[in-house]
Structure 1
């Protein structure tokens, strides 16, 4: 199936290795997962334990071409996103609206800002203005390190890029201004524990 973004670019969906599994396996030894897989399993763990209700946002598509290889089966061959996506995940945690984007990079030295779009920054800014909690989770897959970057830090580097600055975020920027998530087993990446630490640090600076 071919799915196109609103700008005409072709989207190639990633296969979910946990699809159609009746029982989730939260073992960190199960390698080869994408960041999205790990967050989905973490979110399910949160929901099962009454910690938070956070989900991957569904993005509506417009189907434009369908083929029927048999009378009982239909195959979507081409479709388009109806609207540009905002962020990947949102939900509620301890009365707070949580809204975040999740990205992976194979680079060891930096995160390319081309992986973030202007409408996503605008959305995160609006969420922040409404007292929602928004941030970026980045996985540096080559070194297996995970960071939460608060929106205000992401906004700083975004504005710098828009003013002619560098088009990527250096790895040491994440080490200095981000909050590292240490992966585990139950759940795979306990990002809300790190968010709690981030909020505590922010409150002490006010």
Structure 2
């Protein structure tokens, strides 16, 4: 099956898609809490746990796809042969926690000393800025795969490095992420308790707005 982006580029991920099950290709597997799970699966599993415990309501955002060619080899089964991403996605996840709107992106790298900015896109940075202006709690979950370390990092850190990447390096040093972010340990229930770090982020929310004002402070 063929899937294209709005600018005409071809999607190179998995094309094993049918009408009732449209999924993005999972990242490389990693063991969390004794189970083989991708980063995306781990966050989804954690969100399921949070909802079951009434702690938060957070979901992965679906990517809008326009189907243009479908085959019907059987009356009860349809196979999508060609589809397009209708628009660029914003960030991976959003939801509500303790009365706060959460919006975040999950990324990973094999680098050991820094996180490349090329893992992000301008429209995602723009989206973070708009959400922060509305007092949302915005962050990234960064995984350093080679180190098996995970950080909840304020979106303001990404925005700062993104806006000054011509003057600064094109990656965020691990020491900066360690200093401004909150490390999260993999576990069992939940698989990745990132809300514990979000609690700290909320407590320091007056420090995460890129405008330097008190947006986000409750």
Q: What range is the shorter-chain TM-score in?
A: 0.7 to 0.9
SS of the counterpart of 1:10?
coil
Structure-to-structure mapping, 1:62-81, within 5 angstroms:
62-81=66-85
Aligned residue for 2:43?
Answer: 39
Distance in 2, Cα, partners of 1:86 & 1:76: 24
- Pairing partner for 1:182 from 182, 185, 197: 185
Instruction: Give 2:20's aligned residue.
Output: none
Q: Unmatched 5+ residue regions in structure 2? A: 14-23, 209-213
Aligned residue in 1 for 2:16: none
The residue correspondences of 1:8-27 to structure 2 (distance < 5 A) are 8-12=9-13, 13-15=24-26
Equivalence for 1:6:
6
From the superposition, tell whether residues 127 and 105 of structure 1 become closer, same or farther in structure 2 (CA, over 3 Å).
same
Q: 1:99 aligns with which of 103, 113, 136?
A: 103
Check if 1:58 corresponds to 2:69.
Answer: no
Q: 2:199 aligns with which of 176, 196, 201?
A: 196
Specify which of 170, 180, 183 is matched with residue 167 of structure 1: 170
2:137 aligns with: 133
- TM-score when scaled to structure 1? 0.86
Look up the SS of the partner of 2:186 in the other structure: coil
Distance in 1, matches of 2:141 and 2:26, equals 20
2:89 corresponding residue in structure 1: 85
TM-score with structure 2 setting the length:
0.82
Distance in 2 between residues matched to 1:199 and 1:69, nearest whole Å: 52
Offset of residue 68 of structure 1: 3.2
Structure-2 separation of matches of 1:159 and 1:128: 16
Change (3 A) 1:202 1:70: closer
CA RMSD of aligned residues (A): 2.2
Aligned position for 2:33: 28
Structure 2: distance between partners of 1:49 and 1:199: 20
Deviates more, 1:61-70 or 1:101-110: 61-70
CA contact (8 A) 2:137 2:202 kept: no
Shift in Å at residue 15 of structure 1? 4.6
Q: Which runs of 5+ in 1 are unaligned?
A: 18-26
Q: Relative to structure 1, is the Cα distance of residues 157 and 9 closer, same or farther in structure 2, using a 3 angstrom cutoff? A: farther
